[in-house]
Structure 1
């Protein structure tokens, strides 16, 4: 035992162990509450209403990504460089928030007409489409700032207050969903019940952030220029990925039917359990990678270990689900029994996307941006080929299509991370 404590890696392992156990325990609670809320809504809503709910949440995700357009990447990159200077970090955050509000209007103008059309296409009335769109605004408003605000406590590894806030938001959402959707089993009510707690959590998150950086700062023109530069380089890819990220939902909503759309939405609830891993990764790993010096030997070792770790976890998750698929379907309810094959295919696609997103978030935290004609070009080709190979009017066909596209994107983005790190070796050799 004494020899073990004297090992040079002992303190590091103990430190990581404590961080992972604390972060992991809190995330288990957060994901359990979120999962419970999702299951409650699945059971209370009819298949048709849940199809509308799935479509709205998917569009909300696209709106959030489009309104960000690389701003969070710029804030994480610049914040990682100046995280020890609280004054400058606050200025970086203020500049990012200002830009995010301006981008939000463009996002609304692009996505609202598309959401309206798809809702009407899937059988919603004009009144229902209007109420669903209106109910989405609170969640969208909160999302404009919370993803940026979280960067500050993540960089300072102030994990406990951040996760406590997330737990409280999740509990309020569960309680509000239970008492509202039970009496009014409508999609717009469920969406509204999820958005209001996010606004409350957003207010508390600001208190946490400004406790670190001090009072709210003014934006800075030079920082704005740097963030916009990163945003310009990422914007074409962002526009593409905000819709391709949930390509299976878009395809089913247009070529399929409300039953298939609801089934895919329900199965995706199980895949959301992967967010436990993704959040721990984004909270503990990505900020540390952003703070590392641009030294080849340090970055290649860290990046390789993290990719291997996330691949190993993904394989373990898929194997486990193969044995437990019936239990998860039972939890979803009788409307979704018998979808064992579909559930496993959804999880495989989710795991591949998680590996891709891990590599992407690591290299982008350094401000490295792949040229859009490369990233989009390598993504459009498998979309075209996949549409020719698979039956995209059928749920199983769409899931195979999703896996095919995800594999290509994983290879591109994980490979690009290795490529950018390797460039550092060439520079150091010179």
Structure 2
């Protein structure tokens, strides 16, 4: 048996298949472990925090996502696109990475100035004291800066497909988060403590990521003005959509926080935590699929074939996940505890949203990794129009209503991004 396996693995026809199986198995097993640890951490926070406190925690994490999108603005996409052209040259890749990091720091300051007042208002609107609101904001800032650096530090090893060290780093970071959470949350069941426990291990993780990426990118290189100009050109096209994404990606939380109740925020936050279980798909996609698609030659037939294969796989996976959540909805809710029982329909709706969001985000990543950027004067009006229709015709003060509206928005996003990708692929020569 071993001899047969060795012969097959050495055969050019099968060696690539074995390589893919090995890569997906390694990445998938690590991500399953990471998601299990993250799920345990998330459930611990849900059960230990009172619904009112968990609502504040949810608002803070929602704004963290908004801050991250604003601070990126398409920079990481530009770095990936440029890095895909020079990924074998340590010096040139280092220049690209240094330029991206320099831009990211400047964008981060602007993001803080915009997002912090909004978070302060929402926290106070939902009855947080001045002391608690201040502590939550202060705990969010180091988490924000560390998360931003981490996304760029991963690009070089991803382009070289050096996956094992990245997976090990993520596993260790999540173990540290869980350990820190268990040491603090039982004694101090407050939102800002949970945020700090989740963010501080990223400092160690980023130090390790720099060591992992250093063989592939020379971090001592200075930023390059021309590369900065090229990245900013892409940012100008992606940033408007990023700003809209700040509003649309968490539209359910925004609407409930304005029109609904504090308890509704907690319920949506708990459902979001459940849907994060399948976020390993996005991580695996960004680690295994996206860099390879970015590196493909400008061959129309090859690009179309790979694009359709990826889309088909994501659709089949999404159908399986939704069916499983429908069958086991009661068992899933038992994990959240008695404060969240009875949300069976909402669990299924949330999983549909999560799967559609994965397909939309993956499609968006595919075409931007090729340096393509959809015109924001097309994408934003379409997206805003679908949101307005949902607000007019659906009850956005209820959890179920905002979830149905989000499904409609995500369907339109998937259709728009898929159509744009196919148009760009058909315009490729050859």
* TM-score of the aligned structures, taking structure 2 as reference length: 0.97
Aligned to 2:82: 78
Match of 1:24 among 14, 28, 38: 28
Aligned residue in 1 for 2:369:
365
The separation in 2 between residues aligned to 1:91 and 1:297, in whole angstroms, is 33
Q: Alignment partner for residue 356 of structure 1, among 330, 355, 360? A: 360
Residues matched between the structures, number: 426
Matched, 1:99 2:103: yes
1:422 Cα offset (Å): 0.9
Out of 38, 41, 47, which is 1:34 matched to?
Answer: 38
Query: What residue is the counterpart of 1:332 in the other structure?
Result: 336
Return the alpha-carbon distance in structure 1 between the equivalents of residues 370 and 289 of structure 2.
13
| 1:8, distance to aligned residue in structure 2 (A) | 5.8
Contact 1:286 1:361 in 2 (8 A): yes
1:141 corresponding residue in structure 2 = 145
Shift of 1:5: 6.7
**Structure-1 residue corresponding to 2:415:** 411
Counterpart-to-counterpart distance in 2, 1:180 and 1:275: 26
CA contact (8 A) 2:90 2:215 kept: no
Cα displacement (A) at 1:374: 0.7
Aligned to 1:240: 244
The alignment yields a C-alpha RMSD, in angstroms, of 1.4
CA deviations 1:130-172 (Å, max 9, x no partner) are 1100010111010221111111111000111111111111001
Instruction: Report SS of the residue matched to 2:222.
Output: coil
Aligned-partner SS, 1:184:
coil
Query: Structure 1 residue 211: deviation in Å?
Result: 2.9
Deviation at 1:215?
4.5
Specify which of 119, 123, 127 is matched with residue 123 of structure 1: 127
User: 1:304 deviation in Å?
Assistant: 0.6
Q: Tell me the CA shift for residue 28 of structure 1.
A: 0.7
Question: Structure 1 CA distance, aligned partners of 2:65 and 2:391?
Answer: 23
1:109 to 113, 134, 145: 113
Q: CA deviation at 1:7?
A: 7.4
Within 2, Cα distance between the matches of 1:25 and 1:354? 19
Q: Gapped runs of 5+ residues in structure 1? A: none
CA distance in 1, matches of 2:79, 2:9: 38
CA distance in 2, matches of 1:9, 1:274: 32
CA deviations over 1:71-110 (Å, ceiling 9, x no partner): 0010000001110111101110000000000001110111
Q: For the residues of structure 2 that align with 1:214 and 1:71, how far apart are their CA atoms?
A: 19
SS at match of 1:139: helix
Structure 2: runs of 5 or more not aligned: none
Q: Is the 8 A contact 1:329 1:340 kept in 2?
A: yes
Structure 1 segments (4+ residues) deviating >3 Å: 1-9
1:180 counterpart = 2:193: no
Task: State the 1:6 CA deviation.
Answer: 8.8
Q: Distance in 2 between matches of 1:182 and 1:323?
A: 33
Q: Which residue number in structure 2 is paired with residue 253 of structure 1?
A: 257
User: Counterpart in 2 of 1:287?
Assistant: 291
Mapped to 1, the partners of 2:65 and 2:255 lie a distance apart of 16
Question: C-alpha displacement at 1:283, in angstroms?
Answer: 0.4
**2:399 paired residue number:** 395
Partner of 2:378: 374
1:341 and 1:79, CA in 2 relative to 1: closer, same or farther beyond 3 A? same
Partner of 2:56: 52
8 Å CA contact retained: 2:290, 2:366: yes
CA distance, structure 1, for counterparts of residue 135 and residue 418 of structure 2: 41
Is the 1:141–1:199 Cα contact (8 Å) retained in structure 2? Answer: no
CA spacing shift, 1:325–1:5, aligned 2, 3 Å: same
Partner of 1:312: 316
Shift of 1:327: 1.4
1 CA distance for matches of 2:222 and 2:37?
Answer: 37
Maintained 8 Å contact 2:165/2:212: yes
Verify the 8 A CA contact 2:95 2:219 in the aligned structure 1: no
For 2:219 and 2:416, the matched residues in 1 are separated by 41
* Paired position in structure 1 for 2:325: 321
Q: TM-score, normalised by structure 1?
A: 0.97
C-alpha distance 97-215 of structure 1, shift in aligned 2 (>3 A): closer
Secondary structure at 2:371 match in 1: coil
